[in-house]
């Protein structure tokens, strides 16, 4: 078995949408399906990736906008995984509407995620391929997905190259975000590539040495 991860930059906020692929079977997880769900479905079809589930790092609308349409393009619908508190928060905070952006809400929570869980690309699979870590702060229920085989972590909006996630949203906590960056991101191996929700990739080593908001 070998894994690979592929990036599509989509939507008005230039969101990074990730496809985590088991190259042997084609089984694929779609992570943070932002805008342009039809583009995501087309890319998967063109590449022969068999979408099996959707994982959400957090509940902000620009990371969840395509979840409903992608999930319901299949019968039965693709299962959706996220932190339960993130799902509840998204239900109660349709901030996309406040900003003049009409987006579909996350339709349901099929797989509740929590810190310390290990995931397979196939729902209910037994292989421990991806570790879930809590990196709340930018959002009150944020997760990262660490893939040891690839030495990569999908970190949502917790950290960016030379920056960190905004903490001026309702439910955000600057102190909690800094704590979780130090305890959950900077404790990953230095060579780990960090794949954020927007902008270029970075590494743990680079951020520990250079991030002006939180040094390692």
Closest CA to 115 of 146, 74, 151: 146
Quote the percentage of the chain above a pLDDT of 70: 95
Enumerate residues 6+ apart whose C-beta is below 8 A from 12. 35, 101
Give the per-residue pLDDT at 103: 78
Q: How far apart are CA 96 and CA 3, in angstroms?
A: 33
pLDDT tens readout for residues 178-215: 999 999 999 999 999 999 999 999 999 999 999 999 98
Q: 152 has which bridge partners?
A: 147, 193
Give the per-residue pLDDT at 96: 53
Which string of DSSP letters, residue by residue, matches 80-127? EEE-HHHHHHHHH--HHHHTT---PPP---SEE--TT-EE-SSTT---
Give the per-residue pLDDT at 101: 66
User: Which tokens sit at 139?
Assistant: 């959002």
Domains and CATH numbers, the chain: 3-210 (3.60.15.10)
Contact (Cβ atoms closer than 8 angstroms) between residue 19 and residue 8 = yes
Contact (Cβ atoms closer than 8 angstroms) between residue 164 and residue 211 = yes
State the pTM of this model.
0.96
pLDDT tens readout for residues 25-81: 999 999 999 999 999 999 999 999 999 999 999 999 899 999 999 999 999 999 999
Give the per-residue pLDDT at 104: 82
Contact (Cβ atoms closer than 8 angstroms) between residue 47 and residue 30 = no
DSSP state at residue 152:
E
Give the per-residue pLDDT at 90: 79
Closest CA to 200 of 151, 163, 149: 163
């Amino acid at each position: 078995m070998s894994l690979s991860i592929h990036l599509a930059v989509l939507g008005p906020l230039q969101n990074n949408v990730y496809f985590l692929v088991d190259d042997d079977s084609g089984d694929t997880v779609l992570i943070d399906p932002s805008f342009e769900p039809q583009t995501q479905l087309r890319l998967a079809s063109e590449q022969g990736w068999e979408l099996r589930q959707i994982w959400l790092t957090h509940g902000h609308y620009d990371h969840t906008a395509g979840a409903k349409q992608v999930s319901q393009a299949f019968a039965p619908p693709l299962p959706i995984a996220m932190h339960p508190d993130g799902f509840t928060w998204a239900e109660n905070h349709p901030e996309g509407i406040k900003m003049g952006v009409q987006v579909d809400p996350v339709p349901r929570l099929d797989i509740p995620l929590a810190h310390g869980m290990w995931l397979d690309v196939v729902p209910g699979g037994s292989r421990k391929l991806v570790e879930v870590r809590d990196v709340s702060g930018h959002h009150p229920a944020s997760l990262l997905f660490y893939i040891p085989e690839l030495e990569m972590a999908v970190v949502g909006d917790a950290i960016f190259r030379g920056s960190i996630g905004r903490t001026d949203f309702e439910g955000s906590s600057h102190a909690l975000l800094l704590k979780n960056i130090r305890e959950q991101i900077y404790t990953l191996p230095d060579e780990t590539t960090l794949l954020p929700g927007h902008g270029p990739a970075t590494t743990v080593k680079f951020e520990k040495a250079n991030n002006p908001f939180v040094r390692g």
